[in-house]
Structure 1
């Protein structure tokens, strides 16, 4: 076990390496970019100065500039990590939904989870209900006796609308662009009033569709190879831990 963790530390996967680089650059860059500003404030430098003629300010401003460059490198590392994650998304999928042998119910569904989360409302009788299901003979993923229709909120454009108008409103308030403030406020008010006239606010997922999705996932679980704790961070981990789940898929 110790050898495995040592090997993982020495040879982490690419996305983890770029994440470590991003974290290091963020920490160092933040300290370099912002800590010198405290010294500049103590030296008497005013904020938002376009130019200065005090030689004592120069070393601190140069340090802050280096910090800003390091932060840019950190952002670049994050973008590379995102690209690697998207590129390798199929190899890194964990359809079983439980890659870390979780204890609570959010790990008892597929990854990504269905929009309704659970095919039937789970009954909880103890703390760490999912782990309790694993430890008992009933299995961690029992098939429900019956499925029912699930009512879900209907899709709405209010979220994106408020995100855009809120950004425009904040931008206008920051830069005193009153025409933009009024336009964004009026657009938000119109969207809010229009939403009040919407009557179809829910939609129904038929029980047959819920059954189909859940049965498909259970079949996927049955095809997965359980992994031990030592292999959790390997490519073999598809979201089904080996212990204490033996024969959990019924």
Structure 2
């Protein structure tokens, strides 16, 4: 019984079971490869990237979204009596009439990028708040916030189905495309660091890969329909 308990705990901690559980309990979710849009009861609109999941808690005082997984873009509707909150494991975001993007990262950090209005940000382990203005971006964890940097244009380009590559490594570009593509997508180490510039369709990854093969010294190897590898061009 003890061994079974340890095995179960390891399975929970070291696999995707927590993410699956989050999706089971979420009010809104986006499946793998799906870019989902929802209009909430107050008129606010949210966009969910593939794998994202949110739970709603609306009452007479607060409109609260709990981001359980993935990334979210929010366009808040005005409401004079209820504040708009997004809770993450790393902290709380309070919208001040705004459009913003928040993404949970793999290293237990998160990113907030504000495009209109402002967002008040508080790390989960701190009582201090910081206002992030339009055009700014902050990385944060449960204890602290990084300094403000210019908001990444990709933080809102993805809701239009576009990936903007501005001197991105090919490996990073493919990691983003893989989220919108079924099957296996891998890149050889010899070409993973190639720099990429341009815009690519997230909703048509076959076309995006063909575009990359047309501008970089790479080739696509597809031994099976669901298995694609990017290799140096010979």
TM-score scaled by length of structure 1: 0.23
Higher strand share: 2
TM-score scaled by length of structure 2: 0.24
Q: Whose relative contact order is higher, 1 or 2, with alpha carbons under 8 Å and at least 6 apart?
A: 1
Higher helix share: 1
